[in-house]
Chains A and B, each alone.
Chain A
Amino acid sequence: QKEVEQDPGPLSVPEGAIVSLNCTYSNSAFQYFMWYRQYSRKGPELLMYTYSSGNKEDGRFTAQVDKSSKYISLFIRDSQPSDSATYLCAMSGGAQKLVFGQGTRLTINP
């Protein structure tokens, strides 16, 4: 079983919809949780960063961490075609390495 599980999708929604992307993990030592966005044929870029449990909001994006359930989420409000990308969750216990999920491919249809 992978340390981090993420539904690879693909996920296709209409413009303006609320999108929910999720990851589960098994390692209780993970404390740092990130979401990276990767456009087609580009390298990933950090989108959101959360430490421990709780919520973090940045514009249309909200990241949630529930350590008791070992579950993290990324919500996108008022989704736009420019949000079409692959979203990768990543997490770390504070050591040198990140563990990535498989990535969810998201398409926002105009």
Chain B
Amino acid sequence: NAGVTQTPKFQVLKTGQSMTLQCAQDMNHNSMYWYRQDPGMGLRLIYYSASEGTTDKGEVPNGYNVSRLNKREFSLRLESAAPSQTSVYFCASTAGLGTDTQYFGPGTRLTVL
């Protein structure tokens, strides 16, 4: 099993460009999450999806949109990238509740110039 996969691994954007970060899990998990990680800030939740067909905002949702395409896939879209969105983005999944173990992908390193 691949676990949680993310594409791309690296991306450089110019201010105002858009892009979609892809995430997929093969563990038949119900819940999926998008985090960003900045130096000294830990992991901050952007959006999550408790189950297929539902999405909810996390701590830092502004500037992002998400789509739970099916049970396996959860994408994160930046409509108009800003330098403040330069970060490392992690996708995670759990079998059910947030108290379950979260399994993380390898991350996407995004730089916005």
Interface residues of A (CB under 8 A from B): 4, 6, 8, 32, 41-46, 49, 88, 90, 92, 94-98, 100-103
Tell me the dominant secondary structure on chain A's binding face.
Answer: loop
User: Given A43, A92, A97, A101, which contacts B106 in the complex, CB threshold below 8 Å?
Assistant: A43
Specify which chain A residues have a CB less than 8 angstroms from the CB of B35 in the assembled complex.
100
| Cα separation A49 to B53 with both chains bound (whole Å) | 29
Interface residues of B (CB under 8 A from A): 4, 31, 35, 40-45, 48, 50, 56, 58, 90, 92, 97-99, 101-102, 104-107
User: Given B40, B43, B50, which contacts A100 in the complex, CB threshold below 8 Å?
Assistant: B43
Closest to A43 in B: B104
| Cα separation A42 to B42 with both chains bound (whole Å) | 14
| Cα separation A105 to B36 with both chains bound (whole Å) | 17
| Cα separation A41 to B97 with both chains bound (whole Å) | 27
Q: Is the CB of B43 within 8 A of A44?
A: yes
Q: Is the CB of B42 within 8 A of A32?
A: no
Specify which chain A residues have a CB less than 8 angstroms from the CB of B56 in the assembled complex.
96
